Amino acid sequence: MNSALQENSYKHIPVMPIEVIDYLNLQPDGIYLDGTIGAGGHATEILAQLSLEGKLIGLDRDAEALEICKSRFSASAHPILTYKTSYDDFPKILSQLGISKLNGIFLDLGLSSIQLESKTRGFSFNSPGKLDMRFDKDNFIDATDIISKSSEKELSDIIFHFGEERRSRKIARSIKSSENLLTATDLKEAVRRSTPPQKRNKSLARVFQAIRIAVNNELDKLSKFLDLFIEYLSCGGRIVIITYHSIEDRMVKHAFRSLKQSGRLAVLTKKPIVATAKELKKNNRSRSAKLRAGEKLI
């Protein structure tokens, strides 16, 4: 593992770790899925609660994150199985392992420190790197492709629907009129030219979010997961999901509500749980996090 990845791994601070453990209601001998294991921040907390008979399955699309995670737990006595795949494909992994039910599932849908602080992957508008934004570098389509292959209207729709940015048309026009738009800095400049300074950072965050969501097909994957997770939870099993923007939070809220109405899920969080003031001082990235949890009834 190279030194840059090691540096990032030590910086990683999991969001709402106490709340996650509390709502998962971990059983020492249980089987758990961390569908977005990343560098293993939450996984460390989960493993600490499991016996040697318990099991943790970790999935992630990001090979760099998994490399850190595997190194982190290489000497651990606790059983952990990691796979490079998207969380919505977890039934395939369970099938391979001969597992039909889980005692708990956890998702943290935010970007990791590895991704945000990367100088080469273009996730942040403060990055000087190539406009990539892929979670999985084996995917063919990156952010540059999304921008170049989309019409101005298609790009405007992406920014409006996935970023909830009301200046989407003006921003899309500025982006499409830019020549040789290849880096995060280039995209930032296109947004700068088309937005007022007092709200520019919010617009930048929304545009980068929208294009990243499009690149990684994030909402379709979440929708697929929300349609099927209940079938793989054991009775009394818990689901805990942390989201970071309103689109995903609404999707989780509505899915949980539908399952509650059908009598299959008890919603444990009437309103989403947010980070405490103490945590916000320590970890600024928790500021937009919302946690929702449920327990399978039947």
Q: What does the pLDDT read at residue 1?
A: 40
3-state SS assignment for residue 202: helix
Residues 73-110: pLDDT tens digits? Answer: 888 877 789 999 999 999 999 999 999 999 999 999 98
Q: What does the pLDDT read at residue 76?
A: 80
Tokens of 123: 């996730």
Residue 7 one-letter amino acid = E
Question: What are the helix (H) ranges across the chain?
Answer: 3-11, 17-24, 41-47, 63-72, 90-97, 113-116, 143-149, 152-163, 168-176, 184-192, 200-216, 218-228, 246-261, 277-282
Q: What does the pLDDT read at residue 11?
A: 55
Percentage of the chain beyond pLDDT 70 is 96
Tokens of 99: 């597992």
Of 5-14, 29-38, 219-228, 266-275, which range is least confident?
Answer: 5-14
Q: What does the pLDDT read at residue 72?
A: 87
Residue 112 region by backbone torsions, left for phi larger than 0, else alpha for psi between -120 and 50, else beta: beta
| Domains of the chain by residue range | 3-114+219-296, 125-216
Residues near 129 by Cβ (< 8 Å), separated by ≥ 6?
118, 119, 120, 121, 122, 183, 184
Q: What does the pLDDT read at residue 128?
A: 84
- Is there a contact between 242 and 107 (Cβ–Cβ < 8 Å)? yes
Residues 168-194: pLDDT tens digits? Answer: 999 999 999 998 899 999 999 999 999
- Give the mean pLDDT of the chain: 92
Residues 213-227: pLDDT tens digits? Answer: 999 999 999 999 999
CATH number of 125-216: 1.10.150.170
**Can you name the residues that pair with 233 across neighbouring β-strands?**
102
Residues near 28 by Cβ (< 8 Å), separated by ≥ 6?
49, 50, 51, 53, 54
Residues 197-215: pLDDT tens digits? Answer: 998 999 999 999 999 999 9
For residue 100, the tally of other CB atoms under 10 A from its CB is: 12
What's the rounded mean pLDDT across residues 239-249? 96
Residues 115-146: pLDDT tens digits? Answer: 877 888 888 888 888 999 999 999 999 999 99
* Domain at 3-114+219-296, CATH homologous superfamily: Vaccinia Virus protein VP39 (3.40.50.150)
